[in-house]
Amino acid sequence: MSPRHYIDDFMRGRIIGKIEEGRKKTDVAREFDIAHSVVSRLWKSFKSTGMCSRRHGGGRVRSTTPAEDRYIVRSAKRNRRTTAQQVVNQFLAASGKQISRKTVARHLRGGGLYARRPVVCAPLTRQHHTARLQWCREHHNWTEQDWACVLFSDESRFSMSSDCRRQLIWRESGTAYRPENIQEKDRYPTCSIMVWAGIMINGRTRLHVVANGTMTGQRYIDEGLLPHVRLFRGAVYLITDIFVRKRSGIGGEREDGIEELIMGHEDELATEELQEILNEEHQETQ
């Protein structure tokens, strides 16, 4: 006998017709390659109901209505960091019905919401958003040759201990970077380390560890710009938070000092670049 398979209404009618013709149930079961017990149940059901089609099972009664299902989805969308148990409590207070957390999770999946870890980013004010948008608009016509002269540099702090990140959010697939699904976080309550580095189209600086303290303006110049940035030929522009801060009106002594350093060493950088080119050409001719 073949593996169990679904018997549609047409096949049921053929089986009943064979038996009504006087065929034995055993022969009918062998002809259709099904179990004898299946043929017996079909014939018994036909004699009691007069129908050969399968009766649809009632199944378990739904605990919620379609309107209540939509309420559950809206509750999770209003507060994406709420837990399934909190949604259960809200639903109980609103409708008086007791449902399980599995029921809530099932309805949320039906609404396209899944429990995922949120993307973490640094907090940005409205002023930051405005300044960044303005800067992007001013540079959206730059060519690859323009960007080849740009060094992107920044420092970042990393936690030395693991973050369990147990807090989840409800979100749709493919929406990880929507504003409502991003968690702003800038605190490092445990031991951490700060590093600095820069990248260009054709290269990158070495990773510099900022030991014992924060990145002040003077340390930025002494430990970042002078030993690393000057090694990059053609790196005229520095793209860091200096542009965002100065254009948003919150620039400080650090940004002013960096700009003065760049302008003051521009001729020196050009001279060093010319000397390097001459040295390379001299080596090629030998």
| Residues 45-54: tens digit of each pLDDT | 888 887 777 6
* The pLDDT of residue 78: 92
* The pLDDT of residue 270: 47
What 3-state DSSP class applies to 61? Answer: coil
Report the predicted TM-score, pTM, of the whole model to 2 decimal places: 0.46
pLDDT-derived band at 4 (thresholds 50, 70, 90) equals low
Give 77-123 as a DSSP string. Answer: HHSTT--HHHHHHHHHHHH-----HHHHHHHHHHTT-EEEPPEEE--
pLDDT-derived band at 14 (thresholds 50, 70, 90) equals confident
What 3-state DSSP class applies to 154? Answer: strand
Tokens representing 198? 């820069």
Beta carbons of 139 and 79 less than 8 angstroms apart: no
* The pLDDT of residue 201: 85
* The pLDDT of residue 161: 61
Mean pLDDT value across the chain: 76
* The pLDDT of residue 67: 92
Tokens representing 60? 């378990």
* The pLDDT of residue 188: 55
The span from the first CA to the last CA of the chain, in angstroms, equals 86
- Among the listed residues 229, 217, 240, 241, the one whose alpha carbon sits nearest the alpha carbon of residue 265: 229
273 has pLDDT over 60: no
Query: Can you point out the beta strands (E) in the chain?
Result: 114-116, 119-121, 150-159, 169-171, 182-184, 192-200, 203-204, 208-210, 237-239
| Residues 200-259: tens digit of each pLDDT | 888 888 888 887 767 777 787 788 777 777 666 555 444 444 443 444 444 455 555 555
* The pLDDT of residue 261: 57
Number of H helices and E strands in the chain, helices first, is 13, 9
181/257: higher pLDDT? 181
Tokens representing 12? 């049921």
55 has pLDDT over 70: no
